[in-house]
Amino acid sequence: MGAVSAAALSGRDQLPGAGRIVVKVGSSSLTSADGHLDPQRLAAVVDLLAARRAAGTQVVLVSSGAIAAGIGPLGLAARPRDLATQQAAASVGQGLLVAHYTRAFAAHGLTVAQVLLTAEDTWRRGQYRNAHRALTRLLDLGVVPIINENDAVATDEIRFGDNDRLAALVSHLVHADALALLTDVDALYTGPPSRAGSQRIAQVRGLSEIEGIDVTARGSAVGTGGMLTKLESVAIATQSGIPVLLTSVAQGAAGLTGQDVGTWFDATGRRRSIRLLWLAHAARTRGRLVLDEGAVRAVVDRRTSLLPAGVTGVEGEFEAGDPVELVDAAGAVVARGLVAYDAQEVPQLLGRSTGELREALGAGYDRELVHRDDLVLVRRRG
Q: Are 193 and 247 contacting, i.e. CB atoms less than 8 angstroms apart?
A: no
Greatest mean pLDDT among 270-279, 284-293, 347-356, 364-373 lies in 284-293
- What is the number of residues in the chain? 382
pLDDT at 151 over 70: no
| Percent helix / strand / coil, the chain, rounded to 5 | 40, 20, 45
| Residue 191 assigned ligand-binding role | no
Q: Which pLDDT does position 153 carry in this prediction?
A: 60
Q: Which pLDDT does position 43 carry in this prediction?
A: 95
Compute the distance between CA of residue 98 and CA of residue 137 in angstroms, rounded to an integer.
Answer: 20
| Residue 155 assigned ligand-binding role | no
pLDDT tier, 119 (very low <50, low <70, confident <90, very high otherwise)? low
Q: Which pLDDT does position 255 carry in this prediction?
A: 95
Determine the residue type at 375. Answer: L
Q: Which pLDDT does position 52 carry in this prediction?
A: 95
| Residue 230 assigned ligand-binding role | yes
Compute the distance between CA of residue 18 and CA of residue 13 in angstroms, rounded to an integer.
Answer: 9
Tell me phi and psi for residue 314, to 5 degrees. Answer: -140, 140
| Residue 140 assigned ligand-binding role | no
pLDDT tier, 208 (very low <50, low <70, confident <90, very high otherwise)? confident
| Residue 151 assigned ligand-binding role | yes
Q: Where do the domains of the chain lie, and which CATH numbers do they carry?
A: 6-277 (3.40.1160.10), 285-377 (2.30.130.10)
Query: Mean per-residue pLDDT for 241-263?
Result: 94
pLDDT tier, 363 (very low <50, low <70, confident <90, very high otherwise)? confident
Compute the distance between CA of residue 42 and CA of residue 113 in angstroms, rounded to an integer.
Answer: 16
Reported as a single tens digit per residue, the pLDDT across 67-88 is 888 888 898 888 888 888 888 8
| Residue 63 assigned ligand-binding role | no
Compute the distance between CA of residue 336 and CA of residue 372 in angstroms, rounded to an integer.
Answer: 10
| Residue 161 assigned ligand-binding role | no
| Residue 304 assigned ligand-binding role | no
Mean pLDDT of all residues in the chain? 85
| Residue 220 assigned ligand-binding role | no
Please report how the helices 163-173 and 227-238 are oriented relative to each other, as an axis angle in degrees rounded to 10: 10
Query: Mean per-residue pLDDT for 153-162?
Result: 54
Q: Which pLDDT does position 65 carry in this prediction?
A: 85
Q: Which pLDDT does position 258 carry in this prediction?
A: 93
Q: Which pLDDT does position 179 carry in this prediction?
A: 96
CA proximity to 104, closest of 65, 67, 70 = 65
Compute the distance between CA of residue 274 and CA of residue 282 in angstroms, rounded to an integer.
Answer: 10
pLDDT tier, 217 (very low <50, low <70, confident <90, very high otherwise)? low
Reported as a single tens digit per residue, the pLDDT across 317-336 is 999 988 999 999 999 999 99
Q: Which pLDDT does position 289 carry in this prediction?
A: 96
Q: Which pLDDT does position 26 carry in this prediction?
A: 87
Q: Which pLDDT does position 280 carry in this prediction?
A: 79
| Residue 163 assigned ligand-binding role | yes
Percent of the chain scoring above 90 in pLDDT: 46
Query: Mean per-residue pLDDT for 120-149?
Result: 87
pLDDT at 147 over 80: yes
pLDDT at 23 over 90: yes
Q: Give the count of beta carbons closer than 10 Å to the beta carbon of residue 24.
A: 30
| Residue 184 assigned ligand-binding role | yes
Reported as a single tens digit per residue, the pLDDT across 261-314 is 999 999 987 777 767 777 877 677 889 999 999 999 999 999 999 999 999 999
Q: Which pLDDT does position 369 carry in this prediction?
A: 93
pLDDT tier, 8 (very low <50, low <70, confident <90, very high otherwise)? very low
Q: Which pLDDT does position 291 carry in this prediction?
A: 96
The region of weakest confidence among 85-89, 124-128, 204-208, 245-249 is 124-128
Q: Dihedral sign, CA of 45, 268, 56, 255?
A: positive
pLDDT tier, 223 (very low <50, low <70, confident <90, very high otherwise)? very low
| Residue 226 assigned ligand-binding role | yes
Determine the residue type at 281. Answer: H
pLDDT tier, 100 (very low <50, low <70, confident <90, very high otherwise)? very high
| Residue 27 assigned ligand-binding role | no
Q: Which pLDDT does position 45 carry in this prediction?
A: 96
pLDDT at 5 over 70: no
